[in-house]
Amino acid sequence: MEAFRPLGERRTLIRGSGPLVETVHGEVAWACGVFGGEVVREGSDDAGYDLVLDVVADGAWGDEGFAYGREGGRTTVTASGQRGLLYGLFHVVRLGGTAFQEDRPREGHRPAVALRMLDHWDNVDVHPVMGQVERGYAGGSLFWRDGRARGELERVRAYGRLLAACGINAVCVNNVNVHASEARLLTDRLGEVADLAAMLRPYGVRTHLSVTFAAPVVLGGLPTADPLDEAVRQWWSGAAARVYAAIPDFGGFVVKADSEGQPGPFTYGRSHADGANMLASALAPHGGTVHWRAFVYDHRQDWRDRSTDRARAAYDHFAPLDGEFADNAVLQVKHGPMDFQVREPVSPVFGAMPRTRLAVEVQATQEYTGQQRHVCWLGPMWSEVLRFRPAGEEGSAVGELAGGGLVAVSNVGDDPYWTGHPLAQANLYTFGRLAWQPSADPLRVLDEWIALTFPSAPKRLTEGLRPLLRGSWRTYEKYTAPLGVGFMVQPGHHYGPSVDGYEYSPWGTYHFADRDGIGVDRSAATGTGYAAQYAAPWAGVYESPATCPDELLLFFHHVPYAHVLHSGKTVIQHVYDTRFEGVEEVEEARRVWASLADLVGAERHARVAERYEEQVRGAREWRDQVNSYFLRKSGVPDARGRPIW
């Protein structure tokens, strides 16, 4: 066994200068204050130090990367830039004691994705329907309250620290639906954004702003927001310049245009490339980026019209524009073609726009996945998306195609646990780590999160938690909307079941269940043609029920209830079985959590236990409503004769 100094006696040397190096120094100094040890700034000799954190401006590791190694009783982190040093420090923290015990040859770490971003759907004014945080399930906003900047800047700084520890380097501080007060963050309320940016900057987190496409009209008093109008372009250039004067490292704009009622270039007969490029050009002189969301579809669809398919919309709108977007314009694409359902195919846009910078947008906030009252760790789902290869095995994975970044809708609020459900923190952490390395094994990331969250956890806790989180997404899928059919939620708030909740709505989200069968025919041969938006081999795989994966069957095909899945079960029996299994799995998870009471702080344990009660109730409600609905409609009894109401 090698000799090494105990925690309280370790000596750390930090070399380099700049604000983020100060942050690193502050972190180490803080740790020394708590655990003992010493931190020294500068010095040419590494001898006698346990840890050396060094900035060497040779560019070898890029702005954010670092090299890590341990040899001769000394752990070293070498970065080419300040951010890299910060991430290197958090790498040491993640390794914990082993960073000071095990020799390791020098190895490089660099983020695979340059932009790793959280979008906050936080409103400045409390929205009469959506509240302070749209689709927020973790209390209020960290940034805004009742129309004003919240002003709790130390908390924002702590949030920046949390994000950096997860590897996240960008935050958009307001909702993509930009209402009247929020619009003004771009102009006369810019100071409030600058205050936030100042708190996030020390942790390497750049600030972005959602803006309204109509800003030149509503803020600038111009008669038009036409992106090709010279006055409009000048207005945006001026606005961008003023933003950068206040926030020199400002990240850029996020725009939801021509989407669910938001204004956009369609009003002026211009393309989305015209719109995005106009903003890109305003940002370019300052190094900023526009994130243009691809979530454009007809939300006033007539449910009677079966030829319109919302799933097609992003591809239909954007694929023809490939190559037309400016270099600093990023097209931000939801991971699936619909809207963050528990199961969707990967958006075909990722395979269709090789000449466009694409960002993948996922949803950490659990809008459709239990609203942080249900445990639903989304790591495996995101990993599946990021590892999906649109052109087949030989082609690139989505994680490699995401040159524009990885973006998650934030699941964080002013809740003491940050995320409402304490276990929902795992989604935040996993997102950050997958954004750093999209090919990472999500199960390993989960283990990291468990180890960091419960630092002195005995094996019983670790081994209890692991399966409970690992399986939670598939469990959630089991008791909710089956076989990729999606939705079936209560309209508006989207919590809890309502099988027909969106069936006769204008939102384009239908399952077409009748007494004989269910599902949406999206084949090219007989359906909406959505399957043909994929390249080979996927177009072929999805085209036929014979090759379509079970879990996406009803997304792509309308089949009889008696259709036999690859699993050997009929669709209807699958519906029943998975509903019963899902509930049993939640009941078992609740039991496991209860058994861990002595190993988790009382308050945290109670919070999770209370949410498991709600999850069990909710899962049973899903099971019973879905089963009753399909029994009533299909007339096919459960083969195992279990109670269906």
Annotation marks residue 309 as catalytic: no
Among 456, 504, 568, 640, binds a second copy (CB under 8 A): 504
Is 633 a residue that touches a second copy (CB under 8 A)? Answer: yes
Nearer to a second copy, 19 or 491 (CB): 491
CB of 618 to a second copy, least distance (A): 13
Is 303 a residue that touches a second copy (CB under 8 A)? Answer: yes
Nearer to a second copy, 599 or 631 (CB): 631
Nearer to a second copy, 2 or 514 (CB): 514
Is 513 a residue that touches a second copy (CB under 8 A)? Answer: yes
Is 632 a residue that touches a second copy (CB under 8 A)? Answer: yes
Residue position matching structure tokens 């009677």:
304
CB of 135 to a second copy, least distance (A): 19
**CA separation for the pair 109, 53 (Å, rounded):** 14
Give the closest residue to 120 by CA, choosing from 236, 254, 245: 254
CB of 622 to a second copy, least distance (A): 10
Strand ranges of the sheet holding 66-71, from the earlier edge strand across to the other edge: 38-41, 11-15, 51-55, 74-79, 66-71, 104-109
Is 298 a residue that touches a second copy (CB under 8 A)? Answer: no
From 144-152, 394-402, 563-571, 627-635, span contacting a second copy (CB under 8 A): 627-635
**CA separation for the pair 426, 60 (Å, rounded):** 32
Span 464-493, contacts to a second copy by CB under 8 A:
490-491
**CA separation for the pair 324, 355 (Å, rounded):** 8
Name the strand (E) or helix (H) holding 333.
strand 329-334
* β-bridge partners, 38: 11
At residue 406, what is the residue type? L
Q: Number of helices (H) and strands (E) in the chain: give both, helices first.
A: 19, 20
Whether omega before 537 lies within 30 degrees of 0, making that bond cis, reads yes
Give the closest residue to 210 by CA, choosing from 117, 335, 298, 318: 117
From 178-186, 212-220, 594-602, 633-641, span contacting a second copy (CB under 8 A): 633-641
CB of 512 to a second copy, least distance (A): 8
CA angle 276, 280, 283 (to 5 degrees): 145
- Does residue 230 contact residue 224 with C-beta atoms inside 8 Å? no
559 C-beta neighbours (distance < 10 Å), count: 21
- Does residue 633 contact residue 515 with C-beta atoms inside 8 Å? yes
CB of 633 to a second copy, least distance (A): 6
Among 22, 195, 324, 500, binds a second copy (CB under 8 A): 500
- Does residue 484 contact residue 336 with C-beta atoms inside 8 Å? no
CB of 36 to a second copy, least distance (A): 53
Is 645 a residue that touches a second copy (CB under 8 A)? Answer: yes
- Does residue 491 contact residue 482 with C-beta atoms inside 8 Å? no
Torsion sign across C-alpha atoms 447, 453, 456, 462: negative
CB of 632 to a second copy, least distance (A): 3
Is 613 a residue that touches a second copy (CB under 8 A)? Answer: no
Is 307 a residue that touches a second copy (CB under 8 A)? Answer: no
Sketch the per residue contact string, 570 through 609, with a second copy: x for CB under 8 A, - otherwise.
----------------------------------------
**CA separation for the pair 152, 199 (Å, rounded):** 10
Radius of gyration for the alpha carbons in the chain, expressed in angstroms and rounded: 25
Helix (H, G, I), strand (E, B) or coil at 352: coil
Is 318 a residue that touches a second copy (CB under 8 A)? Answer: no
Q: Give me 335's structure tokens.
A: 């991971």
Is 625 a residue that touches a second copy (CB under 8 A)? Answer: yes
CB of 421 to a second copy, least distance (A): 25
Annotation marks residue 384 as catalytic: no
Reported in sequence order, the residue ranges of 64-189 that DSSP labels E, i.e. its strands, are 66-71, 74-79, 104-109, 116-119, 122-127, 131-133, 144-145, 148-149, 170-172
Nearer to a second copy, 444 or 617 (CB): 617
Among 16, 497, 545, 582, binds a second copy (CB under 8 A): 497
**CA separation for the pair 362, 373 (Å, rounded):** 19
The DSSP line for 259-279 is: STT---GGGGT--HHHHHHHH
Is 304 a residue that touches a second copy (CB under 8 A)? Answer: yes
CB of 146 to a second copy, least distance (A): 15
Span 238-267, contacts to a second copy by CB under 8 A:
none
Helices 602-634 and 571-595, interaxial angle, to 10°? 160
Active site residue: 119, 182, 367, 577, which one? 367
Active site residue: 71, 103, 260, 598, which one? 260
Nearer to a second copy, 274 or 624 (CB): 624
Is 553 a residue that touches a second copy (CB under 8 A)? Answer: no
Annotation marks residue 260 as catalytic: yes
Span 380-409, contacts to a second copy by CB under 8 A:
none
Q: Give me 351's structure tokens.
A: 């395979």
Is 635 a residue that touches a second copy (CB under 8 A)? Answer: yes
Active site residue: 309, 339, 344, 577, which one? 339
Among 132, 383, 573, 634, binds a second copy (CB under 8 A): 634
CB of 58 to a second copy, least distance (A): 60
CB of 204 to a second copy, least distance (A): 41
**CA separation for the pair 412, 422 (Å, rounded):** 11
Is 631 a residue that touches a second copy (CB under 8 A)? Answer: yes
Nearer to a second copy, 348 or 486 (CB): 486
Nearer to a second copy, 439 or 628 (CB): 628
**CA separation for the pair 286, 243 (Å, rounded):** 10
Is 546 a residue that touches a second copy (CB under 8 A)? Answer: no
Is 641 a residue that touches a second copy (CB under 8 A)? Answer: no
Is 316 a residue that touches a second copy (CB under 8 A)? Answer: no
Sketch the per residue contact string, 34 through 63, with a second copy: x for CB under 8 A, - otherwise.
------------------------------
Biggest distance spanned by C-alpha atoms of the chain: 80
Nearer to a second copy, 103 or 146 (CB): 146
Give the closest residue to 85 by CA, choosing from 169, 24, 157, 170: 24
Helices 442-453 and 82-95, interaxial angle, to 10°? 80
- Does residue 79 contact residue 91 with C-beta atoms inside 8 Å? no
CB of 553 to a second copy, least distance (A): 19
Is 499 a residue that touches a second copy (CB under 8 A)? Answer: yes
Is 617 a residue that touches a second copy (CB under 8 A)? Answer: no
Summarize as ranges the residues that interact with a second copy (CB under 8 A).
303-304, 490-491, 497-500, 504, 513-516, 621, 624-625, 628-629, 631-635, 645
Known catalytic residues are 260, 339, 367
